[in-house]
């Protein structure tokens, strides 16, 4: 077990280092001088040169990489060119919106998908299965912003249960803040649940044909008990894989939903930074997301080992 975990951990660390090099290299290649950008078009060449020296941009490449990477480790990402505030402050403001949103959406998606998958798989080919899988097909096909608009119309405009958009901040109280996250979370979760439900169903159907399911039935366990106790855990590996991919997407790929709900999340920050050529912010957020994805993959690898003893190796 420890050997497996250690190996995964080392691989994750190496991936992170490699990714940081790639991100740094790409930023080096991109055209545009940050000093020139900050000083404006009218600045003289000497002024630019002085600022470049101050910013350390004239140092050798390796030194600049090490300085940057060292900064990342101590959470010093540098200063935003356009806002002139530390990048870490910008990011921190946004993460407290994006991370809870992603977590709620992921939880919702799992809570919907697993029972749907179990229901469908246990009624394979019958009306209940056809109906739920038809609905899931619809859920995969319909874009999430359309769900978002329908949800706003129903719960905000019509029923006045939750605000239609914006985020009051966690300072306004947890319940009030949560209320403004619930609709976007549902809009994000529905298509994910549809995909995850289909994966859970097909994984379960495969497992239900295994010999050990028959062994469990021959013990006298009713079908439902066999499904939950024996089949589900064996079907978890593909489900966990998809879940990991979905979490990574939910952290970074929520720009459209954030725009529909006027949420100050990471997606909007990176979008703004790109349009304003605020490269240091882009660089930092990309690095942060890379780290998040690697971390998620590590967690997924660990959960594989929890689910399947064969991956732990012999003691």
Partner 1 sequence: MSLLEIENLSLAIGATPILKGVELTIAPGEVVGLVGESGSGKSMTALTIMRLLPHLARADGRVAFDGIDILAATEDQMCALRGDDIGMVFQEPMTALNPVKTIGEQVAEGIRWHTKAGRAEAEDRARKILDRVGLPEAKFPLSRYPHELSGGQRQRVIIAIACALKPKLLIADEPTTALDVVLQAQILDLLRDLVSENRMGLLLISHDLAVVTEMADRLTILRRGEVTEAGDTARTLSEQQHPYTRELALASMHVPARPKPHLAGSAKPLLEVENVGRAYPGRRTSLFRPAQPIRAVDDVSLTIEPAQSVALVGRSGCGKSTLARMILALDKPTAGTIRFRGEAITGRPEAALRPARRDMQVVFQDPYGSFDPRQKVEKLVAEPLHLLEKQPAKPERREMVAHALHEVGLGPRDMDKYPHEFSGGQRQRLSIARAIITRPKLVVADEPVSALDVSIRAQILDLFAELNQKLGIAYLFITHDLTVARAMADEVLVMHEGRIVERGRAADVLDHPRSEAAQALVAAAPDLHRAIARKMQEQG
Number of residues that bind partner 1 (CB under 8 A): 22
Q: How far is CA 69 from CA 31, 197, 287, 301, in A?
A: 21, 40, 10, 26
For the window 152-191, what string marks contact with partner 1 as x by the rule CB under 8 A? ----------------------------------------
Candidates 265, 271, 253; CA nearest to 106 is 253
HSE, side-chain direction, 13 A CA sphere, residue 21: 7
Q: Does 233 bind partner 1 (CB under 8 A)?
A: yes
CB nearer to partner 1: pick between 92 and 214 = 214
Q: Does 2 bind partner 1 (CB under 8 A)?
A: no
For CA atoms 82, 83, 84, 88, give the dihedral sign.
Answer: negative
Q: Does 230 bind partner 1 (CB under 8 A)?
A: yes
* Residue 313 contacts residue 1 (beta carbons within 8 Å): yes
The residue within the footprint of partner 1, chosen from 146, 153, 170, 212 (CB under 8 A), is 212
**In 33-78, which residue ranges form alpha helices assigned H by DSSP?**
34-39, 45-55, 61-73
Q: Near partner 1 by CB under 8 A, which window of 16-24, 85-93, 204-212, 259-267?
A: 204-212
Length of the chain counted residue by residue: 315
Longest dimension (CA), the chain: 86
Site for partner 1 in 280-299 (CB under 8 A): none
CB nearer to partner 1: pick between 33 and 210 = 210
Q: Does 305 bind partner 1 (CB under 8 A)?
A: no
Site for partner 1 in 44-103 (CB under 8 A): none
CB nearer to partner 1: pick between 52 and 217 = 217
The residue within the footprint of partner 1, chosen from 1, 89, 168, 219 (CB under 8 A), is 219
Q: Which two tokens stand for residue 35?
A: 């000093």
Query: Would you tell me how many other CB atoms lie within 10 Å of the CB of residue 140?
Result: 15
The residue within the footprint of partner 1, chosen from 82, 234, 241, 303 (CB under 8 A), is 234
Q: Near partner 1 by CB under 8 A, which window of 37-45, 67-75, 100-108, 217-225?
A: 217-225
Q: Does 217 bind partner 1 (CB under 8 A)?
A: yes
Torsion-angle region of residue 277: left (phi > 0), alpha (psi -120 to 50) or beta?
left
CB burial of residue 125 (10 Å; 0-12, 13-18, 19+): exposed
The residue within the footprint of partner 1, chosen from 130, 210, 228, 274 (CB under 8 A), is 210
Give the phi and the psi of residue 62 in degrees, each rounded to 5.
Answer: -60, -40
Q: Does 128 bind partner 1 (CB under 8 A)?
A: no
Q: How far is the CB of 225 from partner 1 (least distance, A)?
A: 8
Contacting positions for partner 1 (CB under 8 A)? 210-212, 214-222, 225, 229-230, 233-234, 307-310, 314
């Amino acid at each position: 077990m420890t050997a497996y975990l250690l190996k995964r951990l080392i691989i994750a660390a190496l991936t992170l280092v490699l990714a940081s090099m790639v991100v740094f290299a790409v930023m080096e290649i991109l055209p545009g001088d940050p000093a020139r950008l900050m000083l404006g078009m009218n600045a003289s060449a000497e002024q630019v040169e002085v600022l470049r020296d101050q910013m350390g941009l004239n140092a050798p490449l390796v030194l600049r990489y090490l300085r940057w990477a060292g900064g990342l480790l101590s959470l010093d990402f540098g200063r935003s060119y356009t806002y002139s505030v530390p990048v870490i402050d910008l990011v921190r403001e946004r993460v407290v919106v994006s991370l809870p949103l992603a977590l709620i959406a992921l939880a919702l998606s799992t809570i919907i998908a697993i029972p749907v998958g179990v229901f469908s798989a246990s009624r394979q080919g019958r009306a209940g299965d056809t109906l739920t899988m038809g609905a899931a097909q619809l859920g995969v096909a319909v874009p999430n912003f359309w769900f978002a608009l329908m949800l706003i119309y129903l719960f905000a405009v019509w029923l006045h249960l939750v605000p239609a958009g914006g985020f009051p901040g966690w300072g306004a109280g947890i319940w009030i803040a949560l209320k403004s996250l619930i609709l976007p979370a549902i809009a994000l979760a529905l298509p994910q649940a549809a995909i995850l439900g289909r994966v859970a169903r097909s994984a379960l159907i495969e497992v239900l044909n295994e010999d050990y399911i028959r062994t469990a039935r021959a013990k006298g366990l009713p079908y439902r008990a066999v499904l939950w106790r024996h089949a589900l855990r064996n079907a978890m590996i593909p489900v966990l894989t998809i879940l990991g991919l979905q979490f990574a997407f939910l952290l970074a790929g929520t720009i459209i939903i954030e725009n529909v709900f006027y949420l100050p999340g990471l997606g909007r920050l990176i979008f703004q930074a790109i349009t304003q050529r605020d490269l240091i912010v882009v660089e930092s957020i990309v690095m942060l997301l890379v780290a998040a994805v690697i971390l998620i993959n590590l967690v997924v690898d660990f959960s594989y080992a929890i689910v399947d003893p064969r991956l732990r190796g012999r003691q």
